[in-house]
Amino acid sequence: MTRRSSSFVHDRELILVEAEVVGPTGRTIEARLVLDTGAAATTLTPSVIEKVGYTRRDGFKRAKVHTAIGEEHGYWVRVAELTVLGVATPNFALTVFPLGHKDIDGLVGMNFLRHFNFEVRPADRQIVVEFLARG
Amino acid sequence: MNAAEQLVPIATEPLSWAEICAQYPDQFVCLVDIAKVELRSPEIKTACVVGHGPTHDAAFEPIRGLDMRYPRFAIRFTGTCSEPLIRASLVIDDETLQLLRS
């Protein structure tokens, strides 16, 4: 078993972690995502996803969310690779929606986080990820 | 100098995040050659600024077509955003559920 720790920052009590999003040509944007165990799906904003070369035409499925002010339509797209907390996942499916916030590029949700164990240590500002050996 | 060279944006020297915020207040900055405070940290120690402006798109514009020269970058806002994060609930149908479990 391997354990790896990553630091995070607190911003208005949100936990922000570093992510790398790789586009179809290999171009990579470093993004700041909210660690959100209450989100089923990982989300990036249209601004971020478009900078690495994806457009709505690359979406393979429409997505819909309910917000406090109504419905919002976005889409699902597979990015060439998403890396968060040192875990790189190729061909990763995520949703694209605006989040209305200048400091935040997206959310890392449970469709990414459920693949490993992790421990949030708020006082240490560390997240420890545990990789299980696969036999 | 040929036309292509003239279009290449000029990057600043490496600046600390505090210096970037002071020189480009309340705007978006496009950063390259980013050094982090520590490995996998979202905190920036130093970076070079290659674009800036009032929007995410404006900051990115100088390097938009320069994938080979700037294959890796970040766009950050130097001010403080007081807007609340939109909390949304994804509508999950059977197909979406399969996708989430894949």
For B32-64, the pLDDT digits (tens) are 999 999 888 899 999 999 999 999 999 999 999
Interface test with B, best of A11, A16, A27 (most B CBs within 10 A): A27
pLDDT band at B90 (very low <50, low <70, confident <90, very high): confident
For A68-126, the pLDDT digits (tens) are 778 889 999 999 999 999 999 999 999 999 988 888 999 999 999 999 999 999 999 99
- Is it the case that residue B85 has pLDDT exceeding 80? no
- Work out the percent of chain A whose per-residue pLDDT is above 70: 98
ipTM: 0.90
Instruction: Using an 8 Å CB-CB cutoff, list chain A residues near B79.
Output: 102
> Largest Cα–Cα distance of chain A, in whole Å?
48
- Is it the case that residue B76 has pLDDT exceeding 90? yes
Return the C-alpha torsion angle A61, A71, A109, A96, nearest 10: 50
Interface test with B, best of A3, A4, A5, A7 (most B CBs within 10 A): A7
The per-residue DSSP string of B24-42 comes to STTSEEEEEEEEESSTT-S
The residues that bridge with A21 in the sheet, in sequence order, are A29, A82
Average per-residue pLDDT in chain B?
Answer: 89
Cβ contact B77–A9 (<8 Å): no
How many whole angstroms separate alpha carbon A26 and alpha carbon A21? Answer: 9
- Work out the percent of chain A whose per-residue pLDDT is above 90: 76
Please give the single-letter amino acid code of residue B84: P
* Fold of the A2-131 domain: Cathepsin D, subunit A; domain 1 (2.40.70)
- Is it the case that residue A17 has pLDDT exceeding 90? yes
**For residue B2, what pLDDT is reported?**
52
**For residue B18, what pLDDT is reported?**
97
Q: Where are chain B's structural domains?
A: 3-80
Chain B contact for A80 (CB, 8 A cutoff): no
Stretch B11-16: mean pLDDT:
96
Q: Where are chain A's structural domains?
A: 2-131
Sheet holding A2-7, edge to edge: A2-7, A126-131, A117-121
Chain A contact for B42 (CB, 8 A cutoff): yes
Please give the single-letter amino acid code of residue B65: G
- Is it the case that residue B4 has pLDDT exceeding 60? no
Tell which wins on pLDDT, A13 or A59.
Answer: A59
Instruction: Using an 8 Å CB-CB cutoff, list chain B residues near A76.
Output: 99
Please give the single-letter amino acid code of residue B90: L
For A22-55, the pLDDT digits (tens) are 999 999 999 999 999 999 999 999 999 999 999 9
**How far lies A55's CA from each of A46, A102, B14, B32, in Å?**
8, 20, 32, 23
